[in-house]
Structure 1
Protein backbone atom coordinates (compact mmCIF):
# COMPACT_ATOMS: atom_id res chain seq x y z
CA UNK A 1 0.00 0.00 0.00
CA UNK A 2 2.84 2.37 0.88
CA UNK A 3 4.55 1.72 -2.45
CA UNK A 4 1.28 2.38 -4.29
CA UNK A 5 0.89 5.73 -2.52
CA UNK A 6 4.49 6.64 -3.34
CA UNK A 7 3.90 5.79 -6.99
CA UNK A 8 0.71 7.86 -7.10
CA UNK A 9 2.48 10.82 -5.47
CA UNK A 10 5.34 10.51 -7.97
CA UNK A 11 2.91 10.48 -10.89
CA UNK A 12 1.09 13.48 -9.44
CA UNK A 13 4.34 15.44 -9.02
CA UNK A 14 5.29 14.68 -12.63
CA UNK A 15 1.85 15.73 -13.89
CA UNK A 16 1.49 18.83 -11.70
CA UNK A 17 2.90 21.27 -14.31
CA UNK A 18 -0.02 20.26 -16.56
CA UNK A 19 -2.72 20.90 -13.93
CA UNK A 20 -5.49 23.35 -14.71
CA UNK A 21 -4.59 26.60 -12.87
CA UNK A 22 -8.27 27.56 -12.48
CA UNK A 23 -9.33 24.67 -10.27
CA UNK A 24 -6.32 23.71 -8.17
CA UNK A 25 -7.40 25.76 -5.13
CA UNK A 26 -11.08 24.79 -5.22
CA UNK A 27 -12.62 22.96 -2.25
CA UNK A 28 -11.44 19.31 -2.00
CA UNK A 29 -9.19 19.78 -5.03
CA UNK A 30 -6.74 21.77 -2.89
CA UNK A 31 -3.75 21.26 -5.24
CA UNK A 32 -3.21 17.89 -3.53
CA UNK A 33 -4.82 14.44 -3.54
CA UNK A 34 -4.44 14.11 0.23
CA UNK A 35 -7.83 15.58 1.27
CA UNK A 36 -9.64 13.13 -1.01
CA UNK A 37 -7.42 10.24 0.06
CA UNK A 38 -8.08 10.99 3.74
CA UNK A 39 -11.83 11.26 3.10
CA UNK A 40 -11.76 7.95 1.22
CA UNK A 41 -9.78 6.27 4.02
CA UNK A 42 -12.30 7.49 6.62
CA UNK A 43 -15.11 6.19 4.42
CA UNK A 44 -13.55 2.72 4.16
CA UNK A 45 -12.84 2.65 7.91
CA UNK A 46 -16.49 3.53 8.61
CA UNK A 47 -17.60 0.72 6.27
CA UNK A 48 -15.48 -1.75 8.26
CA UNK A 49 -16.15 -0.47 11.77
CA UNK A 50 -19.72 0.83 11.45
CA UNK A 51 -21.51 -2.55 11.22
CA UNK A 52 -19.62 -3.81 14.28
CA UNK A 53 -20.57 -0.69 16.22
CA UNK A 54 -24.23 -1.14 15.26
CA UNK A 55 -24.29 -4.90 15.86
CA UNK A 56 -25.93 -4.79 19.30
CA UNK A 57 -27.74 -1.51 18.77
CA UNK A 58 -31.19 -0.96 17.25
CA UNK A 59 -31.33 0.44 13.71
CA UNK A 60 -32.09 4.13 13.43
CA UNK A 61 -35.48 5.10 12.05
CA UNK A 62 -34.60 7.73 9.45
CA UNK A 63 -37.41 7.38 6.93
CA UNK A 64 -38.24 11.08 6.69
CA UNK A 65 -34.58 12.07 6.64
CA UNK A 66 -34.16 9.58 3.78
CA UNK A 67 -36.97 11.28 1.88
CA UNK A 68 -35.34 14.70 2.29
CA UNK A 69 -31.81 13.40 1.58
CA UNK A 70 -32.72 11.47 -1.56
CA UNK A 71 -35.01 14.14 -3.00
CA UNK A 72 -32.30 16.69 -2.23
CA UNK A 73 -29.93 14.66 -4.41
CA UNK A 74 -32.63 14.58 -7.09
CA UNK A 75 -32.63 18.37 -7.05
CA UNK A 76 -28.83 18.59 -7.18
CA UNK A 77 -28.60 16.01 -9.98
CA UNK A 78 -31.28 17.78 -11.99
CA UNK A 79 -29.50 21.12 -11.55
CA UNK A 80 -26.19 19.62 -12.72
CA UNK A 81 -27.85 17.89 -15.68
CA UNK A 82 -29.40 21.14 -16.91
CA UNK A 83 -26.38 23.32 -16.09
CA UNK A 84 -23.97 20.94 -17.88
CA UNK A 85 -26.11 21.08 -21.00
CA UNK A 86 -26.35 24.88 -20.89
CA UNK A 87 -22.66 25.37 -20.12
CA UNK A 88 -21.40 23.12 -22.93
CA UNK A 89 -23.87 24.79 -25.28
CA UNK A 90 -22.43 28.16 -24.23
CA UNK A 91 -18.90 26.79 -24.76
CA UNK A 92 -19.92 25.64 -28.26
CA UNK A 93 -18.92 22.02 -27.66
CA UNK A 94 -19.24 19.42 -30.37
CA UNK A 95 -21.28 16.47 -29.10
CA UNK A 96 -18.86 13.87 -30.48
CA UNK A 97 -15.60 15.70 -29.77
CA UNK A 98 -15.19 18.35 -27.09
CA UNK A 99 -11.54 19.38 -27.05
CA UNK A 100 -9.56 20.36 -23.97
CA UNK A 101 -6.13 22.03 -24.00
CA UNK A 102 -4.33 25.02 -22.50
CA UNK A 103 -6.45 27.36 -24.59
CA UNK A 104 -9.44 26.17 -22.56
CA UNK A 105 -7.95 27.86 -19.49
CA UNK A 106 -8.52 31.35 -20.94
CA UNK A 107 -12.13 31.01 -22.12
CA UNK A 108 -14.86 32.31 -19.75
CA UNK A 109 -17.38 29.76 -21.08
CA UNK A 110 -14.98 26.95 -20.14
CA UNK A 111 -14.91 28.19 -16.55
CA UNK A 112 -18.66 27.65 -16.38
CA UNK A 113 -18.15 24.05 -17.52
CA UNK A 114 -15.41 23.51 -14.92
CA UNK A 115 -17.63 24.98 -12.18
CA UNK A 116 -20.52 22.58 -12.76
CA UNK A 117 -18.07 19.67 -13.04
CA UNK A 118 -16.77 20.66 -9.60
CA UNK A 119 -20.31 20.33 -8.26
CA UNK A 120 -20.45 16.87 -9.80
CA UNK A 121 -17.14 15.97 -8.13
CA UNK A 122 -18.36 17.35 -4.79
CA UNK A 123 -21.60 15.37 -5.08
CA UNK A 124 -19.53 12.19 -4.99
CA UNK A 125 -18.37 13.14 -1.49
CA UNK A 126 -21.98 13.83 -0.46
CA UNK A 127 -22.97 10.38 -1.74
CA UNK A 128 -20.74 8.72 0.86
CA UNK A 129 -23.81 9.33 3.02
CA UNK A 130 -25.58 6.57 1.05
CA UNK A 131 -23.37 3.99 2.74
CA UNK A 132 -23.44 5.62 6.16
CA UNK A 133 -27.23 5.61 6.15
CA UNK A 134 -27.25 1.92 5.24
CA UNK A 135 -24.95 1.16 8.16
CA UNK A 136 -26.87 3.07 10.85
CA UNK A 137 -30.11 1.50 9.57
CA UNK A 138 -28.43 -1.94 9.67
CA UNK A 139 -28.96 -2.60 5.95
CA UNK A 140 -25.59 -4.35 5.75
CA UNK A 141 -26.69 -6.68 2.95
CA UNK A 142 -26.72 -3.64 0.66
CA UNK A 143 -23.07 -2.80 1.33
CA UNK A 144 -21.49 -4.88 -1.42
CA UNK A 145 -18.04 -4.67 -3.00
CA UNK A 146 -19.65 -2.99 -6.00
CA UNK A 147 -21.27 -0.35 -3.80
CA UNK A 148 -18.11 0.54 -1.84
CA UNK A 149 -15.75 0.36 -4.84
CA UNK A 150 -18.00 2.52 -6.97
CA UNK A 151 -18.44 5.24 -4.34
CA UNK A 152 -14.76 5.35 -3.37
CA UNK A 153 -13.40 5.22 -6.92
CA UNK A 154 -15.70 7.90 -8.33
CA UNK A 155 -14.53 10.54 -5.84
CA UNK A 156 -10.88 9.78 -6.57
CA UNK A 157 -11.25 9.62 -10.36
CA UNK A 158 -13.05 12.93 -10.35
CA UNK A 159 -10.34 14.55 -8.25
CA UNK A 160 -7.89 13.80 -11.10
CA UNK A 161 -10.47 15.07 -13.56
CA UNK A 162 -10.98 18.38 -11.73
CA UNK A 163 -7.26 18.84 -11.27
CA UNK A 164 -6.19 18.12 -14.83
CA UNK A 165 -9.10 17.95 -17.30
CA UNK A 166 -12.13 19.89 -15.98
CA UNK A 167 -13.69 20.36 -19.38
CA UNK A 168 -13.88 18.95 -22.88
CA UNK A 169 -14.87 15.29 -23.11
CA UNK A 170 -15.15 15.05 -19.30
CA UNK A 171 -18.66 16.46 -19.40
CA UNK A 172 -20.48 13.70 -21.29
CA UNK A 173 -20.21 10.77 -18.86
CA UNK A 174 -21.01 13.06 -15.92
CA UNK A 175 -24.03 14.44 -17.76
CA UNK A 176 -25.36 10.94 -18.45
CA UNK A 177 -24.79 9.96 -14.83
CA UNK A 178 -26.73 12.99 -13.56
CA UNK A 179 -29.76 11.88 -15.57
CA UNK A 180 -29.50 8.37 -14.12
CA UNK A 181 -29.25 9.82 -10.62
CA UNK A 182 -32.38 11.91 -11.10
CA UNK A 183 -34.29 8.69 -11.75
CA UNK A 184 -32.47 6.62 -9.12
CA UNK A 185 -32.73 9.05 -6.21
CA UNK A 186 -36.35 9.76 -7.10
CA UNK A 187 -37.00 6.05 -6.62
CA UNK A 188 -35.15 5.98 -3.29
CA UNK A 189 -36.86 9.12 -2.06
CA UNK A 190 -40.32 7.80 -2.90
CA UNK A 191 -39.58 4.31 -1.57
CA UNK A 192 -38.72 5.83 1.83
CA UNK A 193 -42.29 7.14 2.14
CA UNK A 194 -44.16 4.48 4.19
CA UNK A 195 -47.35 4.61 2.10
CA UNK A 196 -45.37 3.96 -1.11
CA UNK A 197 -43.09 1.22 0.17
CA UNK A 198 -43.40 -1.89 -1.97
CA UNK A 199 -45.59 -0.17 -4.56
CA UNK A 200 -42.84 1.08 -6.87
CA UNK A 201 -42.43 -1.42 -9.69
CA UNK A 202 -39.57 0.09 -11.67
CA UNK A 203 -36.48 -0.78 -9.59
CA UNK A 204 -34.99 -3.22 -12.11
CA UNK A 205 -35.29 -0.64 -14.89
CA UNK A 206 -32.91 1.65 -12.99
CA UNK A 207 -30.15 -0.95 -13.28
CA UNK A 208 -30.94 -1.35 -16.97
CA UNK A 209 -30.70 2.42 -17.35
CA UNK A 210 -27.30 2.34 -15.62
CA UNK A 211 -26.06 -0.36 -17.99
CA UNK A 212 -27.25 1.69 -20.98
CA UNK A 213 -25.41 4.69 -19.53
CA UNK A 214 -22.15 2.73 -19.34
CA UNK A 215 -22.53 1.41 -22.89
CA UNK A 216 -23.29 4.85 -24.34
CA UNK A 217 -20.43 6.52 -22.45
CA UNK A 218 -17.98 3.78 -23.49
CA UNK A 219 -19.03 4.06 -27.14
CA UNK A 220 -18.84 7.85 -27.03
CA UNK A 221 -15.33 7.72 -25.52
CA UNK A 222 -13.98 5.11 -27.94
CA UNK A 223 -15.35 7.11 -30.85
CA UNK A 224 -13.56 10.23 -29.61
CA UNK A 225 -10.30 8.25 -29.63
CA UNK A 226 -11.04 6.94 -33.13
CA UNK A 227 -11.58 10.39 -34.60
CA UNK A 228 -8.50 11.84 -32.87
CA UNK A 229 -10.29 14.27 -30.56
CA UNK A 230 -8.01 16.89 -28.99
CA UNK A 231 -8.28 15.60 -25.44
CA UNK A 232 -5.64 13.94 -23.20
CA UNK A 233 -5.48 10.28 -24.18
CA UNK A 234 -4.96 9.12 -20.60
CA UNK A 235 -8.34 10.65 -19.70
CA UNK A 236 -10.06 8.84 -22.55
CA UNK A 237 -8.39 5.55 -21.65
CA UNK A 238 -9.30 5.95 -17.98
CA UNK A 239 -12.96 6.61 -18.76
CA UNK A 240 -13.26 3.79 -21.30
CA UNK A 241 -11.57 1.34 -18.92
CA UNK A 242 -13.75 2.39 -16.00
CA UNK A 243 -16.89 1.91 -18.10
CA UNK A 244 -15.78 -1.66 -18.88
CA UNK A 245 -15.28 -2.35 -15.16
CA UNK A 246 -18.70 -0.88 -14.36
CA UNK A 247 -20.37 -2.93 -17.10
CA UNK A 248 -18.85 -6.11 -15.67
CA UNK A 249 -19.76 -5.33 -12.04
CA UNK A 250 -23.24 -3.96 -12.70
CA UNK A 251 -23.93 -6.66 -15.29
CA UNK A 252 -23.02 -9.32 -12.73
CA UNK A 253 -25.27 -7.62 -10.17
CA UNK A 254 -28.19 -7.53 -12.61
CA UNK A 255 -27.78 -11.21 -13.52
CA UNK A 256 -27.67 -12.29 -9.87
CA UNK A 257 -30.37 -9.93 -8.62
CA UNK A 258 -32.93 -10.36 -11.37
CA UNK A 259 -32.21 -13.06 -13.95
CA UNK A 260 -30.95 -15.80 -11.60
CA UNK A 261 -33.47 -14.79 -8.95
CA UNK A 262 -36.32 -15.20 -11.42
CA UNK A 263 -34.94 -18.55 -12.55
CA UNK A 264 -34.59 -19.74 -8.94
CA UNK A 265 -38.16 -18.67 -8.14
CA UNK A 266 -39.46 -20.62 -11.12
CA UNK A 267 -37.48 -23.69 -10.08
CA UNK A 268 -38.60 -23.40 -6.47
CA UNK A 269 -42.20 -22.95 -7.59
CA UNK A 270 -42.02 -26.10 -9.70
CA UNK A 271 -40.41 -28.01 -6.84
CA UNK A 272 -43.08 -26.80 -4.43
CA UNK A 273 -45.88 -27.90 -6.73
CA UNK A 274 -44.25 -31.29 -7.16
CA UNK A 275 -43.82 -31.65 -3.39
CA UNK A 276 -47.47 -30.90 -2.68
CA UNK A 277 -48.57 -33.39 -5.34
CA UNK A 278 -46.50 -36.07 -3.64
CA UNK A 279 -47.92 -35.24 -0.24
CA UNK A 280 -44.70 -33.66 1.06
CA UNK A 281 -44.59 -29.88 0.65
CA UNK A 282 -41.22 -28.34 -0.23
CA UNK A 283 -40.31 -25.09 1.52
CA UNK A 284 -39.77 -22.27 -0.95
CA UNK A 285 -36.63 -20.23 -0.29
CA UNK A 286 -36.57 -16.47 -0.52
CA UNK A 287 -34.02 -14.25 -2.18
CA UNK A 288 -33.59 -10.66 -1.07
CA UNK A 289 -32.86 -8.38 -3.97
CA UNK A 290 -30.71 -5.36 -3.24
CA UNK A 291 -30.46 -2.53 -5.72
CA UNK A 292 -27.10 -0.76 -5.66
CA UNK A 293 -26.74 2.95 -6.06
CA UNK A 294 -24.46 4.18 -8.83
CA UNK A 295 -22.79 6.32 -10.90
Structure 2
Protein backbone atom coordinates (compact mmCIF):
# COMPACT_ATOMS: atom_id res chain seq x y z
CA UNK A 1 0.00 0.00 0.00
CA UNK A 2 2.83 2.38 0.89
CA UNK A 3 4.55 1.69 -2.43
CA UNK A 4 1.29 2.38 -4.28
CA UNK A 5 0.95 5.70 -2.48
CA UNK A 6 4.51 6.68 -3.36
CA UNK A 7 3.98 5.73 -7.01
CA UNK A 8 0.72 7.66 -7.11
CA UNK A 9 2.45 10.72 -5.65
CA UNK A 10 5.07 10.56 -8.40
CA UNK A 11 2.37 10.67 -11.07
CA UNK A 12 0.37 13.44 -9.40
CA UNK A 13 -0.88 13.59 -5.85
CA UNK A 14 -4.48 12.34 -5.82
CA UNK A 15 -5.28 14.38 -2.72
CA UNK A 16 -5.30 17.63 -4.71
CA UNK A 17 -7.10 16.48 -7.86
CA UNK A 18 -9.99 18.78 -8.68
CA UNK A 19 -8.53 21.72 -6.74
CA UNK A 20 -8.65 25.11 -8.46
CA UNK A 21 -5.86 25.61 -11.08
CA UNK A 22 -4.09 22.34 -10.25
CA UNK A 23 -5.43 19.76 -12.73
CA UNK A 24 -3.73 21.42 -15.70
CA UNK A 25 -0.52 23.42 -15.93
CA UNK A 26 -1.98 25.60 -18.70
CA UNK A 27 -3.70 28.19 -16.41
CA UNK A 28 -0.52 28.68 -14.37
CA UNK A 29 1.62 29.01 -17.50
CA UNK A 30 -0.90 31.37 -19.14
CA UNK A 31 -1.12 33.62 -16.08
CA UNK A 32 2.69 33.75 -15.90
CA UNK A 33 2.97 34.73 -19.58
CA UNK A 34 0.22 37.34 -19.10
CA UNK A 35 2.15 38.70 -16.08
CA UNK A 36 5.39 39.02 -18.06
CA UNK A 37 3.65 40.63 -21.04
CA UNK A 38 1.81 43.07 -18.77
CA UNK A 39 5.07 44.13 -17.12
CA UNK A 40 6.85 44.56 -20.46
CA UNK A 41 4.05 46.24 -22.40
CA UNK A 42 2.79 48.18 -19.37
CA UNK A 43 6.20 49.76 -18.86
CA UNK A 44 6.21 50.88 -22.49
CA UNK A 45 2.64 52.21 -22.18
CA UNK A 46 3.47 54.21 -19.03
CA UNK A 47 6.72 55.65 -20.41
CA UNK A 48 5.20 58.98 -21.51
CA UNK A 49 2.25 59.03 -19.13
CA UNK A 50 1.98 60.37 -15.56
CA UNK A 51 2.35 57.89 -12.73
CA UNK A 52 -0.70 56.77 -10.77
CA UNK A 53 -0.73 57.33 -7.01
CA UNK A 54 -2.83 54.27 -6.02
CA UNK A 55 -2.46 55.17 -2.35
CA UNK A 56 -5.83 53.82 -1.27
CA UNK A 57 -5.52 50.74 -3.47
CA UNK A 58 -2.08 49.97 -2.02
CA UNK A 59 -3.35 50.28 1.55
CA UNK A 60 -6.17 47.80 0.90
CA UNK A 61 -3.92 45.46 -1.09
CA UNK A 62 -1.07 45.38 1.42
CA UNK A 63 -3.42 44.97 4.37
CA UNK A 64 -5.18 42.09 2.59
CA UNK A 65 -1.94 40.28 1.74
CA UNK A 66 -0.73 40.81 5.32
CA UNK A 67 -3.89 39.17 6.65
CA UNK A 68 -3.64 36.29 4.18
CA UNK A 69 0.01 35.75 5.15
CA UNK A 70 -0.91 35.84 8.85
CA UNK A 71 -3.65 33.26 8.27
CA UNK A 72 -1.22 30.94 6.44
CA UNK A 73 1.42 31.36 9.15
CA UNK A 74 -0.98 30.55 12.00
CA UNK A 75 -2.69 27.70 10.15
CA UNK A 76 0.60 26.09 9.07
CA UNK A 77 2.00 26.21 12.59
CA UNK A 78 -1.25 24.85 14.03
CA UNK A 79 -1.69 22.15 11.37
CA UNK A 80 1.88 20.83 11.55
CA UNK A 81 1.98 20.83 15.35
CA UNK A 82 -1.35 19.00 15.63
CA UNK A 83 -0.20 16.50 12.97
CA UNK A 84 3.01 15.83 14.88
CA UNK A 85 5.24 16.94 12.01
CA UNK A 86 8.97 16.56 12.58
CA UNK A 87 11.15 19.61 12.02
CA UNK A 88 14.11 17.72 10.52
CA UNK A 89 12.33 15.68 7.82
CA UNK A 90 8.68 14.82 7.24
CA UNK A 91 7.50 12.32 4.64
CA UNK A 92 4.50 12.71 2.35
CA UNK A 93 2.29 9.98 3.82
CA UNK A 94 3.08 9.91 7.53
CA UNK A 95 0.27 11.98 9.05
CA UNK A 96 -2.74 10.58 7.19
CA UNK A 97 -5.70 12.94 7.00
CA UNK A 98 -3.76 15.61 8.88
CA UNK A 99 -1.60 16.03 5.76
CA UNK A 100 -4.69 17.23 3.90
CA UNK A 101 -5.05 20.21 6.23
CA UNK A 102 -1.44 21.18 5.48
CA UNK A 103 -2.05 20.76 1.74
CA UNK A 104 -5.07 23.09 1.89
CA UNK A 105 -2.96 25.84 3.43
CA UNK A 106 -0.22 25.26 0.88
CA UNK A 107 -2.81 25.68 -1.89
CA UNK A 108 -3.51 29.16 -0.51
CA UNK A 109 0.25 29.75 -0.50
CA UNK A 110 0.40 28.76 -4.18
CA UNK A 111 -2.60 30.99 -4.99
CA UNK A 112 -1.05 33.91 -3.09
CA UNK A 113 1.78 33.89 -5.62
CA UNK A 114 -0.56 34.91 -8.43
CA UNK A 115 -2.07 37.60 -6.19
CA UNK A 116 1.44 38.93 -5.59
CA UNK A 117 1.87 39.53 -9.33
CA UNK A 118 0.08 42.76 -8.46
CA UNK A 119 3.26 43.94 -6.68
CA UNK A 120 4.90 44.39 -10.07
CA UNK A 121 1.79 45.71 -11.80
CA UNK A 122 1.58 48.47 -9.19
CA UNK A 123 5.27 49.29 -9.76
CA UNK A 124 4.48 49.65 -13.47
CA UNK A 125 1.48 51.93 -12.88
CA UNK A 126 3.41 54.04 -10.35
CA UNK A 127 6.46 54.16 -12.69
CA UNK A 128 8.73 52.66 -10.03
CA UNK A 129 10.87 51.13 -12.77
CA UNK A 130 13.97 50.92 -10.57
CA UNK A 131 12.15 48.34 -8.46
CA UNK A 132 11.25 46.13 -11.44
CA UNK A 133 14.55 44.26 -11.31
CA UNK A 134 15.47 40.85 -12.70
CA UNK A 135 15.42 39.54 -9.12
CA UNK A 136 11.90 40.84 -8.57
CA UNK A 137 10.39 39.44 -11.79
CA UNK A 138 12.32 36.15 -11.61
CA UNK A 139 11.22 35.54 -8.03
CA UNK A 140 7.54 36.28 -8.69
CA UNK A 141 7.27 34.35 -11.94
CA UNK A 142 9.23 31.30 -10.79
CA UNK A 143 7.54 30.88 -7.41
CA UNK A 144 4.05 30.63 -8.92
CA UNK A 145 5.19 27.89 -11.31
CA UNK A 146 7.28 26.00 -8.78
CA UNK A 147 4.39 25.87 -6.36
CA UNK A 148 2.08 24.44 -9.01
CA UNK A 149 4.53 21.53 -9.17
CA UNK A 150 4.78 21.31 -5.38
CA UNK A 151 1.00 21.14 -4.96
CA UNK A 152 0.69 18.47 -7.63
CA UNK A 153 3.46 16.16 -6.39
CA UNK A 154 4.61 17.06 -2.87
CA UNK A 155 1.72 19.04 -1.28
CA UNK A 156 2.52 18.24 2.35
CA UNK A 157 5.25 16.78 4.52
CA UNK A 158 8.63 18.48 4.13
CA UNK A 159 7.06 21.17 1.91
CA UNK A 160 5.59 23.00 4.92
CA UNK A 161 8.82 24.62 6.14
CA UNK A 162 9.58 27.27 3.49
CA UNK A 163 6.01 28.62 3.32
CA UNK A 164 5.87 28.91 7.12
CA UNK A 165 8.99 31.08 7.16
CA UNK A 166 7.91 33.00 4.07
CA UNK A 167 4.47 33.74 5.50
CA UNK A 168 6.13 35.29 8.57
CA UNK A 169 8.42 37.37 6.35
CA UNK A 170 5.43 38.52 4.29
CA UNK A 171 3.53 39.60 7.40
CA UNK A 172 6.47 41.87 8.22
CA UNK A 173 7.02 42.99 4.63
CA UNK A 174 3.46 43.76 3.52
CA UNK A 175 2.56 45.41 6.82
CA UNK A 176 5.57 47.68 6.24
CA UNK A 177 4.47 48.42 2.66
CA UNK A 178 0.94 49.25 3.81
CA UNK A 179 1.96 51.43 6.74
CA UNK A 180 4.59 53.26 4.66
CA UNK A 181 1.77 54.78 2.58
CA UNK A 182 0.62 56.62 5.74
CA UNK A 183 2.97 59.61 6.31
CA UNK A 184 2.36 59.75 10.08
CA UNK A 185 3.44 56.12 10.45
CA UNK A 186 6.70 56.26 8.53
CA UNK A 187 8.84 57.26 11.51
CA UNK A 188 7.71 54.13 13.38
CA UNK A 189 8.72 51.65 10.67
CA UNK A 190 12.00 50.65 12.28
CA UNK A 191 12.03 47.18 10.73
CA UNK A 192 12.52 48.36 7.14
CA UNK A 193 16.33 48.01 7.36
CA UNK A 194 16.01 44.41 8.49
CA UNK A 195 13.66 43.11 5.76
CA UNK A 196 16.34 42.00 3.28
CA UNK A 197 18.41 40.50 6.11
CA UNK A 198 15.35 38.56 7.27
CA UNK A 199 14.75 37.28 3.73
CA UNK A 200 18.34 36.05 3.50
CA UNK A 201 18.05 34.31 6.87
CA UNK A 202 14.86 32.68 5.58
CA UNK A 203 16.69 31.28 2.55
CA UNK A 204 19.62 30.00 4.63
CA UNK A 205 17.25 28.26 7.06
CA UNK A 206 15.32 26.70 4.17
CA UNK A 207 18.56 25.45 2.60
CA UNK A 208 19.65 23.99 5.95
CA UNK A 209 16.27 22.31 6.41
CA UNK A 210 16.44 20.90 2.87
CA UNK A 211 19.97 19.53 3.27
CA UNK A 212 19.10 17.95 6.62
CA UNK A 213 16.45 15.83 4.87
CA UNK A 214 19.06 14.65 2.37
CA UNK A 215 21.59 13.75 5.07
CA UNK A 216 18.97 11.97 7.23
CA UNK A 217 16.23 10.97 4.74
CA UNK A 218 12.60 10.17 5.54
CA UNK A 219 11.34 9.04 2.15
CA UNK A 220 10.70 12.54 0.80
CA UNK A 221 11.73 12.67 -2.93
CA UNK A 222 15.43 13.53 -3.06
CA UNK A 223 15.11 15.10 -6.52
CA UNK A 224 12.69 17.66 -5.12
CA UNK A 225 15.06 18.43 -2.26
CA UNK A 226 17.97 18.94 -4.67
CA UNK A 227 15.86 21.25 -6.82
CA UNK A 228 14.82 23.27 -3.77
CA UNK A 229 18.44 23.59 -2.67
CA UNK A 230 19.45 24.81 -6.16
CA UNK A 231 16.60 27.31 -6.39
CA UNK A 232 17.24 28.69 -2.91
CA UNK A 233 20.92 29.08 -3.81
CA UNK A 234 19.96 31.31 -6.78
CA UNK A 235 17.84 33.46 -4.46
CA UNK A 236 20.68 33.80 -1.96
CA UNK A 237 23.05 34.95 -4.72
CA UNK A 238 20.55 37.45 -6.15
CA UNK A 239 19.46 38.81 -2.77
CA UNK A 240 23.06 39.19 -1.54
CA UNK A 241 23.83 41.12 -4.73
CA UNK A 242 20.77 43.32 -4.11
CA UNK A 243 21.70 43.84 -0.45
CA UNK A 244 25.25 44.89 -1.33
CA UNK A 245 23.97 47.36 -3.94
CA UNK A 246 21.55 49.12 -1.58
CA UNK A 247 24.03 49.47 1.29
Is the shorter-chain TM-score for this pair beyond 0.5, marking a shared fold? yes
Q: CA RMSD in A?
A: 1.7
Is 1:23 the equivalent of 2:16? yes
1:130 to 100, 115, 119: 119
Alpha-carbon distance in 1 for matches of 2:201, 2:113: 21
- The answer to whether the 8 A contact 2:9-2:154 is kept is no
**Which is richer in helix?**
2
Map 1:170-185 onto structure 2 (within 5 A).
170-185=159-174
Is 1:92 the equivalent of 2:84? yes
- Residue equivalent to 1:254: 243
Is 1:43 the equivalent of 2:35? yes
Taking a change above 3 Å as real, the CA distance of residues 16 and 82 of structure 1, as seen in their structure-2 partners, is closer
Q: Secondary structure at the match of 1:22?
A: helix
Alpha-carbon distance in 1 for matches of 2:64, 2:10: 37
Structure 1 residue 237: deviation in Å? Answer: 0.9
> Greater relative contact order (Cα 8 A, min sep 6): structure 1 or 2?
2
- Residue equivalent to 1:228: 217
Which entry has the higher C-alpha Rg, 1 or 2?
Answer: 1
Alpha-carbon distance in 1 for matches of 2:61, 2:10: 39
Alpha-carbon distance in 1 for matches of 2:26, 2:19: 14
Which ranges of structure 1 fall in alignment gaps of 5 or more residues?
1-14, 259-295
- Residue equivalent to 2:182: 193
Number of matched pairs? 241
- The answer to whether the 8 A contact 1:64-1:193 is kept is no
Structure 1 residue 77: deviation in Å? Answer: 0.4
Map 1:1-295 onto structure 2 (within 5 A).
18-29=11-22, 31-101=23-93, 107-197=96-186, 200-258=189-247
The normalised TM-score by structure 2 is: 0.93
| Larger deviation, residues 146-155 vs 70-79 | 70-79
Alpha-carbon distance in 2 for matches of 1:111, 1:146: 33
The normalised TM-score by structure 1 is: 0.78
Which ranges of structure 2 fall in alignment gaps of 5 or more residues?
1-7
